[in-house]
Structure formats: C-alpha cells, structure tokens
Amino acid sequence: MLVISCPYCGDRPEIEFSYGGEAHVVRAPASVTDEEWTAFLYQRSNARGSYAERWRHAHGCGRFFNARRNTVTDFFEQTYKIGEAPA
Ligand SMILES: [Zn+2]
C-alpha cells in the first residue's frame, strides 16, 4: 500500500487522500482573452518526473497540502503545507 505523509497528521494510507491537480497554478486575472482563460482552466504541464501537486487528506484532517511526486515511480519526494515553498 502506498503511504502518503500528510504535513499535519503524518503517514497515512493513500486511500485517505484525494488528488487535487497541479499545484502552484496562479489564477488568471479577469482582463485576459478567452484563449488565455481557456489555457488557465484546462492546460497543465503534466510533466514526466518530479511534479508539484495539490492533495487533500479527505478522510483525515480534511486539509489541502502540496506534494512533489515523481510521476514515473509514483514516489512522494516531499509534502508541504499550502503557502510553504518546496525544499
Ligand atoms: Zn491530515
């Protein structure tokens, strides 16, 4: 079983978590064009290798946090609180 380390609760099984998409996506301002707004909504980097993601400890503390996960090996390299910078 895959174990994910919640920065608030510690190590927990993956079934307690839900995926929240790419982390550190900055909201587009209201003045952008339709094409730029579409890109903000739907286009993500989907990188191979180390990737910053948002996760939620849905069946635990309920908090969101960020994680850096290797998409090739599925290894969680780091988890950190929202607002913190990755190491
Ligand atoms: Zn938690």
Render each residue's pLDDT in the chain as its tens digit; 87 residues. Answer: 899 999 999 999 999 999 999 999 999 999 999 999 999 999 999 899 999 999 999 999 999 999 999 999 999 999 999 999 887
Q: Which residues are close to ligand 1, an ion, with C-beta < 5 A? A: 6, 8-9, 57, 60-61
Residue 66: which of 49, 50, 48, 44 has the closest Cα? 50
Give pLDDT, residue 86: 81
Buried b (16+ CB within 10 A) or exposed e, 61-78: eeeebbbbbeeeeeebee
How many angstroms is it from 72 CA to the middle of ligand 1? 25
Give pLDDT, residue 76: 96
How many angstroms is it from 32 CA to the middle of ligand 1? 36
Task: Enumerate the H helices of the chain as residue ranges.
Answer: 34-42
